[in-house]
Amino acid sequence: MGCATCGKPLSAVNQSGYCRKHFGALNSERTSEQSRRQWANPEYRLKHIGAMRRLGQHRIAWCPLEYREDYRILKRVKHYSAAQAREMIEARIAADLRRYELTGQLQRTVA
Ligand SMILES: [Zn+2]
């Protein structure tokens, strides 16, 4: 017997009736259908948007707007932990402030 979607032969121990790829696709379809249904509920949506906003603002409130992009890059592109990225940004802010005191010019250090 093969995968119910593509007919690819399955191993004897397969229990899902789908190959790995289509079993995954089936699951993600179910999950997105479920979240679509949840998001269609205004109460659920409000609650979760509120929670996400609070969390987002709280977690990044320490970081000046000008540095948020750098912070995001450190985390998402360079994969530093939140604590490491914060330390680096804070060091950068301190360095920029020192330079400002010396030169009177506020220049952001470029990563
Ligand atoms: Zn398949």
Q: How far is the CA of 37 from the centre of ligand 1 (A)?
A: 26
89 half-sphere exposure, CB direction, 13 A CA radius: 23
Identify the pLDDT of residue 87. Answer: 94
Q: Are 71 and 63 in contact (CB under 8 A)?
A: yes
Identify the pLDDT of residue 71. Answer: 94
33 shares its domain with 86? no
Identify the pLDDT of residue 88. Answer: 95
Q: How far is the CA of 25 from the centre of ligand 1 (A)?
A: 9
Q: What are 9's strand-pairing partners?
A: 2
5 shares its domain with 57? yes
Q: How far is the CA of 38 from the centre of ligand 1 (A)?
A: 28
Show pLDDT as tens, one digit a residue, over the chain (111 residues): 799 889 999 988 888 888 988 887 777 777 777 777 877 888 887 887 777 676 666 677 788 888 999 999 999 999 999 999 999 999 998 888 888 888 877 666 554
Identify the pLDDT of residue 78. Answer: 94
Put residue 64 in one of left, alpha, beta given phi > 0 → left and psi -120 to 50 → alpha. beta
1 shares its domain with 52? yes
Q: Are 86 and 68 in contact (CB under 8 A)?
A: no
What total of structural domains would you count in the chain? Answer: 2
Q: Please give the residue range of the domain that contains residue 83.
A: 63-111
Indicate the burial class of 16 (C-beta count within 10 angstroms; 0-12, 13-18, 19 or more).
Answer: middle
67 shares its domain with 57? no
